[in-house]
Amino acid sequence: MVTRRRFLGTLGAGALIVGFDPVERAWATGPGSGGLQRIPHLDGVLLTDLATRQADGRDLGRIVKRLPRAVLRPGSVRDIQKMVEFCREHRIQVSTRGQGHSTHGQGLTDGLVIENRSLSAIHSIGADSITVGSGALWREAAHTAEARGLTPPLFTTYVGLSVGGTLSVGGVPAQNNLGVQIDHVRELEVVTGDGRLHRCSLNHERDLFEVMLGGLGQCGVITRATLDLVPARALARNYMIRYQVTETARVWNDLHILLDRGEFDGAYLLMSVPDGRNITYQLNAVVFHNADNPPSDQHLLRDLSVFPASAEIENSTYLEWVKRYDPVIELWQRQCVWDDLLKPWFDVMLPGESAQAYVSEVMPTLTARDYGPPTGIGFLFPQRRDKLTRPFFRIPPGNSKYVYLFDILTSSPAPGPDPAFAAEMLERNRRLHAKARAIGGTRYPIGSQDFTRADWRAQYGERWPDLVRRKAKYDPDNILTPGPGIFG
């Protein structure tokens, strides 16, 4: 017979929990003693088998591990409410997991992991909005909308990410003048840290709405989101122009010309090492169009440092463009076991005034150690400052028209644990962050960095007291999303 003392790692696959032993601080599958706190009836399942817990005990970064005590596969939003209430009562920490594509334990906990993939329904779609479960992937939202000639206005490069996951961080797209994904959310359904269910928007419970958008899951679990839709154009034409790493002045100049003219739907830089040795900048500029209105290459690429004819052109459907990096990730997964490489990514928002100097200094210092097997190693996404409207998406102060997300997507040379490599790259990230902070840079918190409370306080700046207040209001016992280490 399984007793209340046989718990966690000793439970067999698929064992279902009946209660929590507050003395042992452990889940139990048997009747136990009188002290056993029975878990509420659930529509879904609560799992403690080792395989499930191990899978949810790591993320794509493969650097941080934290074995959860249990995993909830919710059958309903009510399940999340019940388990959050239960965990609050027993001081068990709770994290929500989208696709687990964070790189430094942001969504991990040794308490309860809520896998929200089961909340992936497309609830409704109208002429200008779509309501989806937070576990839906952006790719799924894109397909549903496209069938009606519509689209969410913005996507991340890779669209196998969950809606709840990117709304918790920001969701920075290739487009430059429309803000980020969280700027296009109309309403959220959220379970807060006291188990209550809320619907919030700019006009209703704004305090909660704001702190959930880019708020790193500190105040609640997003269960449903209503997102903007806009008419989709059928086709995309992407122009790619290559420059050597020594040609930074030229590439920045060309990028600025395109940004100033505003004729493209999006322009950004991809940094790669196609030959494994030399870094190349690739300026990508995309224009969406319909078949009856094709773009003029000569006109769009006029007055750049290169002849228009030297740009490589990729024509595709709009949806193919949205999904353009999915095959790349799939190729890496096959070629170099990409999922199991360590990914000490560095991600920072830079002020426009000093972004060029910062990137130009940092890029030439990177070596093969900083790249890893995949050939793509970084991005630079310009974003119009005045379109970034959400207060907890932290951007550098200043007056520059644009701020820039700069990513270095480092991978380890081989799969498997490599503590020395992880330590070396975390130290690099610490150094690069300090250099960025000195010019006003802020962390885009998807990457790998050890952040102290003082670092978080600096990150939130004048917003810090407001974050502390909202945290106390919505997660009074501080059980939600311990991974980033903001509240200890």
Ligand X SMILES: Cc1cc2nc3c(=O)[nH]c(=O)nc-3n(C[C@H](O)[C@H](O)[C@H](O)COP(=O)(O)OP(=O)(O)OC[C@H]3O[C@@H](n4cnc5c(N)ncnc54)[C@H](O)[C@@H]3O)c2cc1C
Q: What residue ranges bind ligand X (CB under 6 A)?
A: 59-60, 95-102, 106-107, 116, 134, 156-158, 161-162, 164-166, 168-172, 216-217, 221-222, 329, 446, 481, 483
222 vs 229 by CB, closer to ligand X: 222
17 vs 446 by CB, closer to ligand X: 446
254 vs 407 by CB, closer to ligand X: 407
Shortest approach of ligand X to residue 22 CB, angstroms? 25
Strands 26-28 and 19-21: antiparallel
86 vs 474 by CB, closer to ligand X: 474
279 vs 329 by CB, closer to ligand X: 329
Shortest approach of ligand X to residue 99 CB, angstroms? 3
How far is it, in rounded angstroms, from Cα 286 to Cα 427?
36
162 vs 449 by CB, closer to ligand X: 162
295 vs 374 by CB, closer to ligand X: 374
Cβ(164)–Cβ(155) below 8 Å: no
Shortest approach of ligand X to residue 340 CB, angstroms? 14
Shortest approach of ligand X to residue 255 CB, angstroms? 17
How far is it, in rounded angstroms, from Cα 204 to Cα 218?
19
Shortest approach of ligand X to residue 173 CB, angstroms? 7
34 vs 488 by CB, closer to ligand X: 488
Q: What is the 3-state secondary structure (H, E, C) of the chain?
A: CCCCCCCHHHCCCCCECCEEECCCCEEECCCCCCCCEECCCCCCEEECCHHHHHHCCECCCCCCECCCCEEEECCCHHHHHHHHHHHHHCCCCEEEECCCCCCCCCCCCCCEEEEHHHCCCEEEECCCEEEEECCCEHHHHHHHHHCCCEECCCCCCCCCCEHHHHHHHCCCCCECCCCCHHHHEEEEEEEECCCCEEEEECCCCHHHHHHHCCCCCCCEEEEEEEEECEECCCEEEEEEEEEECCCHHHHHHHHHHHHHHCCCCEEEEEEECCCCCCCEEEEEEEEEECCCCCCCHHHHCCCCCCCHHHCEEEEEEHHHHHCCCHHHHHHHHHHHCHHHCCCCCEEEEEEHHHHHHHHHHHHHHCCHHHHCCCCEEEEEEEEEHHHCCCCCCCCCCCCCCEEEEEEECCCCCCCCCCHHHHHHHHHHHHHHHHHHHCCCCEECCCCCCCCCHHHHHHHHHHHHHHHHHHHHHHCCCCCECCCCCCCC
189 vs 254 by CB, closer to ligand X: 189
Shortest approach of ligand X to residue 415 CB, angstroms? 16
Shortest approach of ligand X to residue 197 CB, angstroms? 13
Shortest approach of ligand X to residue 325 CB, angstroms? 7
Shortest approach of ligand X to residue 409 CB, angstroms? 8
Please give the single-letter amino acid code of residue 27: W
19 vs 445 by CB, closer to ligand X: 445
Shortest approach of ligand X to residue 262 CB, angstroms? 21
